[in-house]
Structure 1
Amino acid sequence: MSSETSAAKTPDEVEKSSQLETYDEKLGLDTLDTSDGDAALQLVGARATAHFSEEYNRKLRRKLDLVIPTISAAVYSVNICSDKTSLNYARRNYNLVSMAFYLGYLFWEFPTVYISQKLRLAKYLGGNIVVWGIILMLHASTNNFGAFFALRFLLGMCESCVSPCLILIISMFYKKDEQAQRISWFYVMNGLTQVFGGFVAYGITFDNGKVLAPYKIIYILLGALAIVIGIVVLIWLPDSPVNASMLTREERIAALERVRNDQGGTENKKFKKDQVIEALTDPRTWLVVFSTVLTCIPNGALSNFSNIIIESFGYTSKQTLILSTPAGFIASTMVIFCGWYSDKKGERMIPVVFALIPTIVASAILIGLNGSSNKGVLLFAIYIIGTFSSALSTIYAYNASNTSGHTKKVTINAMTMATFSIGNIIGTEIFQPKDAPAYIPGKTAIMVLMIVQLFVSLLLRWINVRLNRKRKAQLEEEKARRGWTDDDVQRERERHAFADLTDRQNIFFIYTC
């Protein structure tokens, strides 16, 4: 059973609120300004007045799971994964063309996330996906290098909002100990699409190309699919718990109360300069940025050139399309495992370590057995080298769980995704034609980057452990100084939840390590 409170307060509620404020003053509590708080305050207020059973919350979560991760996975499959692999399967392996996409991504990342803050999040996302699909279909209309470069630049611009928007939506609807799994449920498409794309590309190779070149068929099919999914997003993906049309008013309140204690907040349309400054001066931000670059350099290299490496083992280009697919299954398994472990154990950085170790081992095998006739071992190395990609999924979850204040969240997401593009731009250049067919410098670079990433991940974890210890000591000090009881602490925690405070400003915020 549940109860709910309307946005308009009754005279009794106004009197009760006044009494609570008087009680706050007696305890010496600071006045909390919620005038610039989250949109959630309009629906649920500063204190929890509606309580829902565990069974009710479980049913609500299942309802959310049927829509949000499902649509997010569909979006990710066509927008993030299919395009990158389509360039690979289409055999348009030009370094500059590969780079064009990430240049557009980098150019438009900061404008797009701040525009999305002002608009309906899912509607903005859906519009971008529809335009993305049109641009992808236009790839089939030209063989001109300059036009192809320009189209891929525009494609990167449209895609730059996808991951930030999906991460924000997940963080608004799900608790901290649910976010990593839900992010992994859409990020897993990174590997699964590699499998699907490989078989599709293999089938298309049997086309004689008399009507249309095979790579053009790929672009037309994927572009049309993107347009359909963009329309689905526009109609069904919710923007936030406050205005989710898929939920009843009671369910919207319940969705907000589920996440209140996490102190992560929901959405706020006001741009706050002080939160941008805090994001830029938080050392963890730059470690996340560095970590993202370290992860994305191998991503940019392998997503565009992995098939060429397999060919260097002595296989034909057609055989390579099928032989590359097991790597997608293994990468997908690692993504799901890391997401599950991350939420189950309340860890973010330890799963990153799990994801990096197989990549380090694989790189060492490819370097050490260069020129070997043992194709089975070399293929095994290629199949496990992609596990590092799970690290990026966990970094997304790290940002979602460890950042509060909407403008700060938007800023850190933008910085993360901007460095995603920088890392991928660098990655397109580490496998140089002059190093063919062994590409030893590129493989060595991947191994070194992943080893450095191990230490950065452990440092991020240590910092959050230390911050939590300091936060706990500060809260105990406040309790003693103000004479707070546990009920007083809980009431203050509820008041602060949707005030759009940053994680530094909110003494009740707990970091996920």
Structure 2
Amino acid sequence: MSSETSAAKNLDEVEKSSQLETYDEKLGLDSIDTSDGDAALQLVGAQATVHFSEEYNRKLRRKLDFVIPTISAAVYFSQYLDKTSLNYARRVLFAAMLVDNYNLVSMAFYLGYLFWEFPTVYISQKLRLAKYLGGNIVVWGIILMLHASTDNFGAFFALRFLLGMCESCVAPCLILIISMFYKKDEQAKRISWFYIMNGLTQVFGGFVAYGISFYGGKALPPYKIIYILLGALAVVVGIVVLIWLPDSPVNASMLTREERIAALERVRNDQGGTENKKFKKDQVIEALTDVRTWLVVLSTILTSIPNGALSNFSNIIIKSFGYTSKQTLILGTPAGFIGSAMVLFCGWYSDKKGERMIPIVFALIPTIVGAAILIGLNGSSNKGVLLFATYIIGTFGSALSTIYAYNASNTSGHTKKVTINAMTMATFSIGNIIGTEIFQPKDAPAYIPGKTAIMVLLIVQLGVSFLLRYINIRLNRNRKIQLAEEKARRGWTDEDVQRERERHAFADLTDRQNLFFIYTC
């Protein structure tokens, strides 16, 4: 294992060498333009000359795991709790204006999310990623606390809109950070470690709202207490992000210089690249002309419509079985545990088997079954079976976390990455906007049209998942043939191929441009 001093010495030698030109001359290659390459090139160069032992890399990964997924989980916990606070506040709410306009204020969050998604990813590319994220979290914490300051519908709608704007950067930023620090076969599991907060917040939020519902004081209405507490928590999380979450391996203050080099060398062979501050129009065009982008968009909207419906109406469905508002808050919590377990399983399976689409199928089937039970047993007095259906209906949430992992593992070129992430999250907001409207008051209390829509949408998503998987398998097969032809044409040895793979890693090439990029199915 090399020491920090030896690593730095090797680094200086790389920066001063002309290896890149030597290889071009030897192999007759066209020069790769690294002037627009990733920031990583300034630290490790175009070729790997420093090698670290497996034990060293394991220790480094444990160090990263202690910080990055942990803080990411805190961010997601706060975000999802804040986003679904309306669902809990409604149960203990005294403000008639919110009850009467529930669908509209539910929609306001996603309107703000959609409005600001593309600007926020562009801004985040120009700034330090984690610092931008942390600033947004602090601001949305303040906005959430301001929810307690008004009983006016217009002001409440505006605050929900602003909340959506601030929270629109979360998933794109976290996906980028995970993709920069972790290898492809590590990404889905790490994403699942923070995405489980969606389920756990359902448990936590239910118990908090249940406890506050017993509050008999007159100083503040219960729903205002919820907003003040959750907003304060978000501010604390934002400060933690600003101080401790790293932006990229290149400038991670939590790592020594040697560890930063090792972190970059760990991910070099994956060809995913790191960060690049230059916005490249050609990569945007490639993202828009890649059929997989639009299938990801379709996948996202198919899963987001049910999310928008169930995240805001799940407690209402349970109450329709004949429970009180307070009982509903507690009875909804097991669904959070089941959803979290599915997220962890899908993340583990996805990395273990090198699959992205099959875990989505695993996540969708229980939801389809649950929706069918709720439709088929509508009006039944068997509350146990109906509750079971509402508990398994939430497993589909794992599909979106796996889509995040799919984007992280199957996209290269920094501008293309942020473009596809933005399109994914913009579609997420559109789906959720639609979702807030599929449970209409006229369909209460059974909401059969909404439940039927959820079942049909997710059945269609099964087909889309298999199509995406087939396309990536075909792309890998074609890429293998192309690489073999190039190897024969240029007379490359296996060592030459590895050398070229290293050269391409941080050149900020897209997955289409990079002959050495391998897709995860």
TM-score bracket for the superposition, by shorter chain length: over 0.9
Does the 8 Å CA contact 1:180/1:343 hold for their aligned counterparts?
yes
- CA deviation digits over 1:372-419, x for unaligned, max 9? 000000000000000000000000000000000000000000000000
Does the 8 Å CA contact 1:67/1:237 hold for their aligned counterparts?
yes
Q: Secondary structure at the match of 2:6?
A: coil
Offset at residue 28 of structure 1 (A): 1.5
Check 1:366–1:4 CA distance in 2 against 1; reply closer, same or farther (3 A cut).
same
Offset at residue 64 of structure 1 (A): 0.3
Mapped partners of 2:102, 2:410: distance in 1:
38
Offset at residue 15 of structure 1 (A): 11
Mapped partners of 1:180, 1:19: distance in 2:
35
TM-score normalised over the length of structure 1: 0.97
84-93 or 174-183, larger mean C-alpha shift = 84-93
Check 1:42–1:386 CA distance in 2 against 1; reply closer, same or farther (3 A cut).
same
What percentage of residue pairs aligned between the two structures are identical?
A: 92
Alignment match of 1:379 (pick from 387, 390, 393): 387
Check 1:30–1:5 CA distance in 2 against 1; reply closer, same or farther (3 A cut).
farther
221-230 or 8-17, larger mean C-alpha shift = 8-17
Offset at residue 21 of structure 1 (A): 2.6
Does the 8 Å CA contact 2:189/2:351 hold for their aligned counterparts?
yes
Q: Secondary structure at the match of 2:48?
A: coil
Aligned to 2:134: 126
Check 1:16–1:23 CA distance in 2 against 1; reply closer, same or farther (3 A cut).
farther
Offset at residue 25 of structure 1 (A): 1.8
Check 1:15–1:170 CA distance in 2 against 1; reply closer, same or farther (3 A cut).
closer
Does 2:166 align with 1:158? yes
Check 1:207–1:32 CA distance in 2 against 1; reply closer, same or farther (3 A cut).
same
Mapped partners of 1:144, 1:4: distance in 2:
60
Mapped partners of 2:15, 2:196: distance in 1:
51
- CA deviation digits over 1:90-117, x for unaligned, max 9? 1177000000000000000000000000
Check 1:18–1:9 CA distance in 2 against 1; reply closer, same or farther (3 A cut).
farther
Q: Secondary structure at the match of 1:31?
A: coil
Check 1:120–1:319 CA distance in 2 against 1; reply closer, same or farther (3 A cut).
same
Offset at residue 14 of structure 1 (A): 7.2
Offset at residue 6 of structure 1 (A): 8.6
Check 1:7–1:279 CA distance in 2 against 1; reply closer, same or farther (3 A cut).
farther
- CA deviation digits over 1:147-191, x for unaligned, max 9? 000000000000000110000000000000000000000000000
TM-score normalised over the length of structure 2: 0.95
Does the 8 Å CA contact 1:7/1:43 hold for their aligned counterparts?
no
Offset at residue 5 of structure 1 (A): 8.3
Mapped partners of 2:289, 2:163: distance in 1:
32
Does the 8 Å CA contact 2:197/2:340 hold for their aligned counterparts?
yes
Matches within 5 A, 1:110-121: 110-121=118-129
Q: Which runs of 5+ in 1 are unaligned?
A: 77-82
Alignment match of 2:492 (pick from 484, 488, 498): 484
Does the 8 Å CA contact 1:134/1:227 hold for their aligned counterparts?
yes
- CA deviation digits over 1:66-122, x for unaligned, max 9? 00000000001xxxxxx2331011117700000000000000000000000000000
Does the 8 Å CA contact 1:137/1:223 hold for their aligned counterparts?
yes
Q: Secondary structure at the match of 1:463?
A: helix
Does the 8 Å CA contact 1:184/1:339 hold for their aligned counterparts?
yes
Check 1:498–1:4 CA distance in 2 against 1; reply closer, same or farther (3 A cut).
farther
Offset at residue 484 of structure 1 (A): 0.2
Mapped partners of 2:473, 2:245: distance in 1:
35
Does the 8 Å CA contact 1:5/1:49 hold for their aligned counterparts?
no
Check 1:446–1:379 CA distance in 2 against 1; reply closer, same or farther (3 A cut).
same
Q: Secondary structure at the match of 2:263?
A: helix
Mapped partners of 2:118, 2:56: distance in 1:
39
Check 1:474–1:217 CA distance in 2 against 1; reply closer, same or farther (3 A cut).
same
Does the 8 Å CA contact 1:7/1:42 hold for their aligned counterparts?
no
Aligned to 1:89: 88
Mapped partners of 2:328, 2:115: distance in 1:
34
Mapped partners of 2:495, 2:378: distance in 1:
65
Mapped partners of 2:5, 2:217: distance in 1:
64
- CA deviation digits over 1:440-459, x for unaligned, max 9? 00000000000000000010
Does the 8 Å CA contact 2:193/2:344 hold for their aligned counterparts?
yes
Offset at residue 4 of structure 1 (A): 6.2
Check 1:369–1:33 CA distance in 2 against 1; reply closer, same or farther (3 A cut).
same
Offset at residue 209 of structure 1 (A): 4.1
Q: Secondary structure at the match of 2:502?
A: helix
Check 1:99–1:14 CA distance in 2 against 1; reply closer, same or farther (3 A cut).
closer
Offset at residue 27 of structure 1 (A): 1.9
Offset at residue 30 of structure 1 (A): 1.6
Aligned to 2:41: 41
Q: Secondary structure at the match of 2:4?
A: coil
Does the 8 Å CA contact 1:70/1:186 hold for their aligned counterparts?
yes
- CA deviation digits over 1:165-223, x for unaligned, max 9? 00000000000000000000000000001001111110001001411111110100000
Q: Which runs of 5+ in 2 are unaligned?
A: 77-81, 92-100
Does the 8 Å CA contact 2:8/2:257 hold for their aligned counterparts?
no
Check 1:105–1:408 CA distance in 2 against 1; reply closer, same or farther (3 A cut).
same
Residues paired across the two proteins, number: 507
Mapped partners of 1:336, 1:411: distance in 2:
27
Aligned to 1:349: 357
Does the 8 Å CA contact 1:7/1:44 hold for their aligned counterparts?
no
